[in-house]
Amino acid sequence: MMRKMPIIITGGGQRLGLACAKALLAQGYDVIITYRKERESIVALEEQGVTCIQADFSTASGVDEFVATILSRYSALGGIIHNASEWAPEDGCADTALLMEKMWQVHVFAPYRINLAFEALLCAGSEQDGQADIIHMTDYVVEKGSDKHIAYAASKAGLANLTCSFAKRFAPKVKVNAIAPSLLMFNESDDDEYRNKALNKSLLRKAPGEQEGVMAVQYILGSRYMTGRTLSLDGGRHLV
Question: What residues act catalytically?
Answer: 152
CA pair distance 29, 149, nearest whole angstrom: 35
3-state secondary structure of 74: coil
CA pair distance 21, 81, nearest whole angstrom: 10
CB-count exposure of residue 228 (10 Å: 0-12, 13-18, 19+): middle
Element (H, E) at 81: strand 79-82
User: How far, rounded to the nearest angstrom, does the alpha carbon of residue 133 sit from its chain's CA centroid?
Assistant: 12
Say which amino acid occupies 173: K
Whether the bond between 172 and the residue before it is cis, its omega within 30 degrees of 0, is yes
User: How far, rounded to the nearest angstrom, does the alpha carbon of residue 28 sit from its chain's CA centroid?
Assistant: 20
Longest dimension (CA), the chain: 51
